[in-house]
Amino acid sequence: MAKHRPYICGIDAAMDVVGGKWKGLILWALHEGRRRTGELRRELPGVSEKMLIQQLRELEADGIVHREVYREVPPRVEYSLTERGVELNDALSPLSAWGQRHMPTIHAQREATSRA
């Protein structure tokens, strides 16, 4: 996770919660509804099992996602957004729109500068 220093501002705090390598993507996936662990893994191309679970645990600790275990065999675990998680996702949506808009340019610029 991160350091326990006092936050400098709201951005600082929000970034600390959502800044993990896969957290934005996890949140976005859960936006569409609850998901089993395996479903999430399949929806996030490239995530390792270790990472996925670690990030989910951190989000859970921050009160963003809710983890529900069904005592079945084989085991079933479902993740969903808490109320706070829904709020966070809403707050993320302008950022998402910005990303959509600028994604092609950014990608192209990085390709270009890495060739130089």
Binding site for DNA (CB under 7 A): 1-2, 20-21, 36-38, 46-51, 53, 56-57, 67, 69, 73-77
- The whole-angstrom separation of Cα 107 and Cα 98 is 14
Which segments of the chain does DSSP mark as H helices, in order? Answer: 10-18, 23-31, 37-43, 49-61, 83-115
**6 touches its own copies by CB under 8 A:** yes
What is the spatial distance between Cα 25 and Cα 28, in angstroms, rounded to a whole number?
5
Q: Taking CB under 8 A as the rule, does residue 83 contact its own copies? A: no
Residues in 25-64 at the binding interface with its own copies, rule: CB under 8 A: 25, 27-28, 44-46, 61-63
Q: Does 88 bind its own copies (CB under 8 A)?
A: yes
CA distance 66 to 71: 16
Span from 32-40, 48-56, 70-78, 86-94 in contact with its own copies (CB under 8 A): 86-94
